Chains A and B, each alone.
Chain A
């Protein structure tokens, strides 16, 4: 990890890998969408609305995955003062919030025909909503300081506190009431869904992950370039 602490090296490397990651993300999402919308069968109970799941489930995975990335980046920023970790956390937060929103919105679209309500105060829904607020708080705290370093430091502590709390929130809400079905892919006894539905789901999941990686790299790159431009501008202003 520390090999990439040098922004120059990071920029060079990301320039090489970025087109590949972006192309693979686009390809996987295209294949996944094709499989999901045209090849995979309609569910015998849910009909065609099961196809919402091919966006909903990967979005929900990403919502949790990105928060974990933010927490890991925050820890490495606080412990090792890794110069890129703050940028990774800053770049990831809005993407994670968007995926969380996507998971909530698609879930709600699916819930209306299936459960007969746009929203129920179910354990899973509520804990994802809380996760959404944690993302918003992270973003708000990051932008609330005139000095961006302080914002990044404060947001890193918040991300870690939130990370400790995520399992607590998840389980406390779980014992509160529940309607959402349990996980059917990541199970000890193997996936309980049919391969014709599992493959498009996995393609979409991997595609979303690569898409996030590509977007995150672009955002970190633009932050680095913005910092460089600022430094040049300050140097030029001091020289004159």
Chain B
């Protein structure tokens, strides 16, 4: 294994191991996801058709919020105990570090959300024919959320009330993911072709895959100066 892949893999397994040891932290996002989505029927009433109509939007918005919850911890623990300084000094490019951290965040937050989303869809009386599209759209959309979130988390390192700042920075940037994620699902449910929306989700993912590590690494560098 080359040095680059070795460093990437090492960081990823370390983060996953840490997440596994603090299972409560990792499951918090999913719990929030289910709980927040369960609040809507109390707010708008349990009418099945209305809930089925709302399901794509509610699932995506609550997923967006659930991802935000765990973002603050993405770099903060390493920043506070000093391991982040070592990562900045390490020979592997910092962009790779950001990518590994974002991937670990997605595996511990995004993946459980994707697993829980069909359950919510059933609770919301959504047409089961839309379930595959829900999973595909979320699988393409949530990595973008982790990537842009990593930039937000890196930018607010050392800021006063960083946790409150992150939503203000990240949510406006995530609106395209929300729009196309919901549009893909709506198209599939009403019998239109969801492919254009899925392709946009994919394009957003690829774009953030390239740009977010660059911006995140720049943010980490200025945080460590």
Contacts and interface: CB of A to CB of B under 8 A. Distances in A.
Of residues A153, A157, A161, which shows the largest number of chain B Cβ atoms within 10 Å of its Cβ?
A: A161
A169 B207 CA distance: 13
Given A144-B156, A145-B158, A161 B151 contact: yes
Contact of A150 (B168, B218, B225): B225
B161 interface: yes
Q: How large is the interface on A (under 10, 10 to 19, 20 to 34, 35 or more residues)?
A: 20 to 34
Interface stretch (A29-37, A129-137, A201-209): A129-137
B218 A145 contact: no
Given A145-B158, A154-B159, A140 B172 contact: no
B222 A150 contact: yes
B211 interface: yes
B26 interface: no
Contact of A145 (B160, B169, B207, B211): B160
Contacts of A141: 155-156, 159, 165, 169
Contacts, number: 78
Give the interface centre of A137, A146, A151, A164 by most chain B CB atoms within 10 Å: A137
A15 interface: no
B176 A157 contact: no
* The 5 A-B residue pairs with the shortest CB-CB distance in the complex, in nearest-first order: A144-B159, A172-B176, A153-B222, A133-B172, A137-B168
Interface of A: 78, 130, 133-134, 136-137, 140-141, 144-146, 150-151, 153-154, 157-158, 160-162, 164-165, 168-169, 172-173, 176
10 contacts: A130-B175, A133-B171, A137-B165, A153-B225, A154-B155, A154-B222, A161-B151, A168-B204, A168-B207, A176-B183
